[in-house]
Amino acid sequence: DIQVAAAATCGEEAAAQAVRLQLNVALIDLRLKWNLVEDEPSEANGLRLAMVLNQSPAAPAILVFAGCLEARWLLSLVDAGVRGCLAKDDDPALIVSAVRAAAAGMCVWTPAQLAILRSQSVDCLTQREREVLALVAQGCTNGEVAGRLGISVGAINKHVEHIFAKLHVH
């Protein structure tokens, strides 16, 4: 149920192919050359490609591969519309699962990545929203969060909706 539609050698080529092929999911290396003239790959080019892809009319779900992801890139990747970040040495079954999840509209951030994001960007959240986010980052379902905090699942759903809006994530 997964087909590799294209492979690219640089960001410019990847952007052109993604638009032409109207991909469902794009897996991009965070560290890449923007064009074939550049001498060295850069993390900024992976971020740039994610932003370009996310601005296209039929934007694909974007997953990023990183050898070693620094915390400073996480918030920028979320802002660029990336749905998750995978390690280059992740198990192939995990990568396939992440592609399927992204194609279904889900995010695939790890609990550790969510914790970093939470620490970088929670100033805009209320105390209750921070509590909800902390439990969700630990892997709790909305029902489990509701039980732990002693409030309804409907209230949790509303808090999650507000968290997503404030943090600009889907």
**What average pLDDT does the chain have?**
88
Rounded mean pLDDT of 144-157? 94
Residue 41: per-residue pLDDT: 86
Those residues whose C-beta lies under 8 Å from the C-beta of residue 103, and which sit 6 or more positions away, are 24, 25, 61
Give the pLDDT score at 148: 94
- For 43, the 3-state DSSP assignment is helix
CA-CA-CA-CA torsion sign (133, 136, 140, 144):
positive
Instruction: List residues bridging with 26 in a β-sheet.
Output: 62
Quick one: average pLDDT of 131-148? 89
pLDDT at 6 over 70: yes
The H or E element spanning position 18 is helix 11-21
- 153-167 vs 127-137: helix axis angle to the nearest 10? 90
